[in-house]
Structure 1
Amino acid sequence: MTDKVINFMGARKIAAAFSIALILISIGSLIGKGLNFGLDFTGGTLVEVVYDEAQPLSSIRQTLADAGYADAVVVFFGSDTDVLVRLPQGMSPELGETILGVLTDAAGVGVELRRIEFVGPQVGEELREQGGLAILLALIVVLIYISMRFQFKFAAGAVIALVHDVIIVLGAFSLFSIDFDLTVLAALLAVIGYSLNDTIVVSDRIRENFRKLRKIPSIDVLNVSLTETLGRTLVTSLTTLLVLLALFFVGGEMIRSFAEALIIGIVVGTYSSMYVAANFMLAMGISQEDLIIPEKEGEPIDDLP
């Protein structure tokens, strides 16, 4: 057993208040602002052009606004000469050449049309529905799996932790108006997998300690279990974050939203695996009786020193 036990559950009320506050802020932002859906979900046209010389984005936006494309979204795409233009208008055979002509005339330098892509609104609506169903199905499968492997109170705690993580990641994207596209949806599913892995490791240790430490309160069993898994949890999270930070800073615009979603998810998931799931299990009255194996005669029983 760990020599020094950290009293994680001593701060459970503060942690619960913190989580509730984050969830309320996230839900409020989702209701008030909504998500800034990318073209994958809303439909529209994406045009990528490359300039011979770097141009200020403000100048490009003004040029497009003067040409009747005031709602165009203009961002750099990997370098200060590679520009991505997102338009809510449907694609026509002439649209790419029209945009190219407008930008070339205003810039006075060479501009190359690299690609033009179109997503119809019907496809975007289907992607939203299927993405939501994918997340819901993942949570249901998690509930069934952990109920079979551990016990229902463990499963309920794990699912609450996963819902907590997903809502906060969505809330952060809504609050800061970060583009929500298919890469972010993939990141959300990855966050569910990562957070679930952490929660299962902690749950496995809790189950093991409930069977070993039969004469101590449930809150102490949770503290021992969280302390024993703390090192593994932090090392895994930090090494994963290093990779994600590299993707965020040097991976380019295409996967930046993906990296942002995972960075937020890893931080929140690490916190929830230590506090939200265990806190909820304690609130449901988890005890030795839920998991204990009948004691054999002569079997040694561990206890806190």
Structure 2
Amino acid sequence: MKLLKLVPDDTNIHFLKWRVPFFVVSLILIAASWGLVMTKGLNYGVDFAGGQEVRLTFTQQREAPIASLRELVGGLGFGEPTIQRFGADNQVSIRVRLPEEAENTPGAATRIGEQVIQAISSEYPDARRDGNDTVSGKVAGEFRSQAVQALLFAMIAVAGYIWLRFEWQFGLGGLFALFHDVSLTLGMFALFQLEFSLQIIAAILAIVGYSLNDTIVVYDRIRENLKKYRKMPLPELLDLSVNETLARTVMTSLTLLIALVPLLLFGPESLFGLTAAITLGIFVGTYSSIYMAAPLLVWFGVNNNSFVPTETAAEKQERIARGEA
């Protein structure tokens, strides 16, 4: 039985031919992503924003009355609420900031949540409570700080590992590829205002791990070929290395997508953000390994002598004694 091959053995795609336009597009996407984060901001979940979050389902209605809810909850004296659809059209998430005195008063936050639910239930008897969560502003700030530290530490540790295993150019190339992947993921969450919570941090760390794995496979093949083909121009050598690992990259990505796409389309709403982040990460991670991590080696000055072992004086004398040039 002949085995199915998604990528032929003799693949010869000239990836490096388009490295400049693709790199420019990537820089534009990175800038646009951070622009969205700075202007629109991230839709922090209760983990990062703090406050009281109430989740409701209006069982007898096709769509939740968001405008009426905003007016109703806003009249309770807790400031302007943040009300968004949460899952289906008849499900909403209502988030209100807690008064300063509530953070230091045991049970005050829960009572505020109950007050919001009671006010809505009296107006809409079909409102079903799905959740009532509290996070203080201090704890939310600590969560944000720790999340940023975790991401930065993971990216720096990855760059250091690649630097030690290969050379500094490879470390910087891998770090830039990870920065590209994380930036585009944050941009997607800012653009669509998907809820950004602790589970999304876990998704981004998973993207970092996937992108690192794919990048190291490509880099390892580049290192082998640098030792094998001394006279081959570097762009051709990089194309050869990427093509030789292309089958592995495609199969790994496709296998992950087979599991992720059904979960994205038919999975529970609580996992939508997590699944969407990892699904996007599969694409941008594969893209960055080919069009970010590899082309940067050309601009960072990697050449055919990068992995030639340094010859000591004793080795040189021994080579001359053997009559070798």
- TM-score, with structure 2 as normaliser: 0.82
**Which of 13, 21, 25 is the equivalent residue of 1:14?**
21
Q: Does 1:180 align with 2:196?
A: yes
Report the Cα distance in structure 2 between the residues aligned to 1:228 and 1:240, rounded to whole angstroms: 20
- Report SS of the residue matched to 2:109: coil
> What is the rounded CA distance, in whole Å, between the counterparts of 1:92 and 1:30 in structure 2?
29
Supply the distance in 2 between the matched residues of 1:72 and 1:258 (Cα, whole angstroms): 21
Bigger shift: residues 19-28 or 285-294: 285-294
1:260-271 aligned at under 5 Å gives the runs 260-271=276-287
* Aligned equivalents of 1:74, 1:29: Cα separation in 2: 19
Tell me which of 77, 94, 100 is aligned to 2:117: 100
Number of residue-to-residue matches in the alignment: 293
Query: Residues of 1 paired with 2:138 and 2:241: CA distance?
Result: 49
Q: Secondary structure at the match of 2:94?
A: strand
Give the SS at the match of 2:13. coil
Q: Secondary structure at the match of 1:15?
A: helix
Instruction: Give the partner amino acid of 2:83.
Output: V
Amino acid of the residue matched to residue 196 of structure 1? L
Q: CA deviation digits over 1:154-184, x for unaligned, max 9?
A: 1111111111111111122112222211111
Sort the Cα spacing of 1:60 and 1:4 in 2 relative to 1 into closer, same or farther, 3 A: closer
Alignment pair present for 1:157 and 2:167? no
Residue among 273, 280, 289 paired with 2:289: 273
SS at 2:134's partner residue? strand
RMSD, aligned α-carbons = 2.4
Which residue of structure 2 lines up, in the alignment, with residue 167 of structure 1?
Answer: 183
* Structure 1 pair 44–57 and aligned structure 2 pair: CA distance change class (3 A): farther
| Alpha-carbon distance in 2 for matches of 1:32, 1:113 | 33
Greater shift in the superposed pair: 167-176 or 42-51: 42-51
CA distance in 2, matches of 1:211, 1:62: 69
Note if 1:73 corresponds to 2:91: no
SS in 2 for 1:46: strand
Distance in 2, Cα, partners of 1:112 & 1:163: 42
Q: Point out the more displaced range, 263-272 or 26-35.
A: 26-35
Larger Rg: 2
**Alpha carbons of 1:172 and 1:82: their partners in 2 closer, same or farther (altered >3 Å)?**
closer
Segments of structure 2 that go 5 or more residues without pairing to the other structure are 1-8, 100-107, 312-318, 320-325
| CA distance in 2: counterparts of 1:176 and 1:49, whole angstroms | 21
Structure 1 residues 155 and 38, CA gap change in structure 2 (3 angstroms): same
What residue number does 1:285 align with? 301
TM-score of the superposition, structure 1-length normalised? 0.87
